[in-house]
């Protein structure tokens, strides 16, 4: 587990998913698989460069009731997102 600063807070990252180079729906599928292994309230980091990733992620998290803590696009046009697993998922 690693600690990252996200939105001014230190967050413990349970796992990181590298979905760079993959297109919909693979980044979300890989995130779901990692969330299935995670415990409630753990945070998963996911990296993706699919242009639709941000919209796909927010829609899927809303549907599954997970919390998107942050989504940023870095200088290499890669989305870096942090998702907190819902208690009841």
Per-domain boundaries in the chain: 2-84
Residues 75-83 have a mean pLDDT of: 96
Superfamily of segment(s) 2-84:
TusA-like domain (3.30.110.40)
Active site members: 24
Percent of the chain with pLDDT over 70: 98
The answer to whether the CB of 10 falls within 8 A of the CB of 82 is no
| Model confidence, pTM | 0.92
pLDDT of residue 63: 95
Alpha helices for the chain (secondary structure H): 26-37, 53-64
pLDDT tens track for 2-45: 998 888 889 999 999 999 999 999 999 999 999 999 999 999 99
């Amino acid at each position: 587990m690693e600690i990252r600063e996200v939105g001014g807070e230190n967050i413990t990252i349970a796992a990181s998913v590298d979905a760079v180079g993959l297109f919909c729906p693979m980044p979300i599928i890989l995130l779901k698989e990692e969330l299935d292994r995670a415990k409630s309230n753990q945070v998963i980091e996911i990296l993706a460069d699919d242009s639709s990733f941000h919209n796909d992620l927010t829609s899927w998290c809303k549907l599954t009731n997970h919390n998107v803590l942050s989504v940023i696009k870095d200088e290499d046009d890669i989305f870096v997102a942090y998702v907190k697993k819902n208690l009841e998922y």
